[in-house]
Amino acid sequence: MKFIAIDTSTEYLSLGISEDKKILFAETILLERRHSTDLLPILEKTLKKLRLSIRDIDGFIVGLGPGSFTGLRVGLSMVKAMALSLKKPIVGVPTLDCLAGAVPEKKFPIAPLVDAKRNQVYAALYEKTNGLLKKKVKEKVIPPESFLRTLKGKTLFIGGGATLYRDAIKRILGKKATFTQSSYDVPDPATLISIGVDRFKEKQFENPYTLVPLYIYPKDCMIRK
């Protein structure tokens, strides 16, 4: 089976195309705020380069967020439109799952952090054992200092929020905090594919008519009267 995987939760486009878990294309492309204008042309160009048609695709994997509200809506809308027109299934992957899943296995917890603005982060806590990712603390939006004070032992921090609040993390946790390279700050397309293909095998399909981004903080999306 051939898959297209897309995550638009950050200022980057994370795009992957695979045959099962064999990566045919995987790249993160800085789009800043140009997701709505650049996503489709980039996808079309990539498919052409691989000598594939959109009709060759058997399923879609999409990053659900949390992250950029506008970016998430653009990416999800495009995936839903393609899946509905081709009558192909979709699976969704939370962005924090994707960030944590890209990290090599550790003997201590993994904490992905994504900037949620207003001095808050999207945060969760994972363990990775024998290649399996297990969520220990569910996604939440929280001031970084409040989240850090819930952590007791050594923790690996990843994501753009970890880079942004690195000084605060080091101040509060000291030597208990460790960090990844900046390449882990954005969702990895290969990891998105790996998690998504496993969910396809388990038939964890999304309903394209009701699928929405994982906002966590919906008040930010509401129009005030």
Per DSSP, the residues of 152-210 read -S-EEEESHHHHHTHHHHHHHHGGGEEE--GGGSS--HHHHHHHHHHHHHTT----TTT
pLDDT at 117 over 50: yes
Give the pLDDT confidence of 118-161 residue by residue, as tens digits: 999 999 999 998 888 999 999 999 999 999 999 989 999 999 99
Pairwise CA distance, residues 200 & 102, whole Å: 19
Measured CA distances, 178 to 99, 109, 140, 154, 159 (Å) = 15, 10, 21, 7, 12
The reply to whether the predicted model has a pTM over 0.85 is yes
pLDDT for 220: 45
Choice among 35-49, 164-178, 211-225 with the minimum mean pLDDT: 211-225
Number of C-beta neighbours around residue 219 at 10 A: 8
Q: Round to whole Å and give the CA distance between 120 and 15.
A: 27
Q: Which backbone phi and psi does 69 adopt, to 5 degrees?
A: -60, -45
Q: What angle do CA 218, 220, 223 make, to 5 degrees?
A: 100
173 alpha carbon, distance to own chain's centre: 26
Residues 54-91: tens digit of each pLDDT: 999 999 999 999 998 899 999 999 999 999 999 999 99
Instruction: Tell me which residue of 158, 179, 189 sits closest to 12, measured CA to CA.
Output: 189
| 3-class secondary-structure state, position 222 | coil
User: Is 60 exceeded by the pLDDT of residue 179?
Assistant: yes
Query: Phi/psi class of residue 82: alpha, beta or left (left: φ > 0; alpha: ψ in -120 to 50)?
Result: alpha
Q: What is the pLDDT of residues 82-114, one digit of tens each?
A: 999 999 999 999 999 999 999 988 889 999 999
Average pLDDT in the chain: 93
% of residues, the chain, pLDDT over 70: 96
CB 184 within 8 A of CB 112: no
Residue 225, pLDDT > 60, answer no
Give yes or no for residue 221 having a pLDDT over 50. no
